[in-house]
Amino acid sequence: MKLIQVNHYEEMSKKAADIITHYIKNHPNAVLGFATGSTPSGLYENLIEDHRKNGTSYKAVRSFNLDEYVGLDGTHPQSYRYFMDEHLFNHIDILKENTYVLNGKAENLDMECKRYERMIQEAGGINIQILGIGRNGHIAFNEPGTPFSSRTHIVELAESTRKANARFFQSIDEVPTHSITMGIASIMESQKILLLASGPSKAEPIRRLFTEPISESFPASILKQHPNVVIIADKEALKDT
């Protein structure tokens, strides 16, 4: 894992955006893996700004998102589809039909998982996957204990994750109990992984990532086995490392 240390959130977001735009310029038909949450929002702002100023085009780019809540459709303001439309897709020239987000309202969720895996394969795999990290080390919605061999699947969210994400909802009761997420094995197949971490709430998972052995009880630890991981972390996230 390669670590890029930065001073603050803005610098992290800018560095990550530079890596993505540089890649797209050389590979206009890139397949990108996007994440949601407060961590990547600044990256998306930078991508929008770069698109406006420098004209980086996403016309041939395809994207896959990591996860989605079960039971929310794309018009729900807390769905990840809505988040991506609002924070990125509506502001760049990516074709909507080339942006794939899991359907949390699919009638048959198992089939939805299989369909998603197939689409990623058909796209030739993900070139760069953006990742955040949960306070308990989860990546996407793969909670501690998830097998490293997991593919896209349905999960029951940990209480701590529902609490952490309750800030986006009116109350914790509104936070869905389940989500649908790319699995750890699916994520690990990405050519390159860009893990972003900012702020004091990420100090503990980042410390654990660098110091603890690889174990399913700490999902992010598997990243140590990936040949091309870049971690961009700010001072606060690195304060205990």
Q: Which residues are catalytic?
A: 67, 136, 138, 143
Task: Tell whether residue 38 is a contact of ligand GLP (CB under 6 A).
Answer: yes
Q: Is residue 39 involved in binding ligand GLP (CB under 6 A)?
A: yes
Would you count residue 219 as binding ligand GLP (CB under 6 A)? no
* Binding span for ligand GLP by CB under 6 A among 19-27, 49-57, 112-120, 126-134: 126-134
Q: From the list 79, 161, 190, 221, which residue makes contact with ligand GLP (rule: CB under 6 A)?
A: 161
CB of 134 to ligand GLP, least distance (A): 5
Report the residue number, 30 or 133, with the smaller CB distance to ligand GLP: 133
Q: How many residues appear in the chain?
A: 241
Q: For the chain, what is the radius of gyration of the CA atoms? A: 17
Closest approach, Cβ 29 to ligand GLP, in A, equals 25
Q: Does 67 bind ligand GLP (CB under 6 A)?
A: yes
What's the 3-state SS for the chain?
CEEEEECCHHHHHHHHHHHHHHHHHHCCCCEEEECCCCCCHHHHHHHHHHHHHHCCCCCCCEEEECEEECCCCCCCCCCHHHHHHHHCHHHCCCCHHHEECCCCCCCCHHHHHHHHHHHHHHCCCCCEEEECCCCCCCECCECCCCCCCCCCEEEECCHHHHHHHHHHCCCHHHCCCEEEECCHHHHHCCCEEEEEECCHHHHHHHHHHHHCCCECCEHHHHHHHCCCEEEEEECCCCCCC
Nearer to ligand GLP, 39 or 150 (CB): 39
Contact partners, residue 214, CB within 8 Å, separation at least 6:
221, 222, 224, 225
The nearer residue to ligand GLP, 56 or 161, going by C-beta atoms, is 161
Check residue 165 for interaction with ligand GLP (CB under 6 A). Answer: yes
Quick one: how far is CA 234 from the chain centroid? Answer: 18
Binding residue for ligand GLP (CB under 6 A) from 33, 104, 132, 205? 132
For ligand GLP, the closer of residues 31 and 237 by Cβ is 237
d(Cα 166, Cα 147) in Å, to the nearest integer? 26
Q: Least separation, in Å, of the C-beta of 55 and ligand GLP?
A: 29
Q: Is 37 in the site for ligand GLP (CB under 6 A)?
A: yes
Q: Give the x/- contact pattern for ligand GLP in 6-35, rule: CB under 6 A.
A: -----------------------------x
User: Please, which residue, 104 or 132, has the CB nearer to ligand GLP?
Assistant: 132
Give contact residues for ligand GLP (rule: CB under 6 A): 35-39, 66-67, 132-134, 140-141, 161, 165
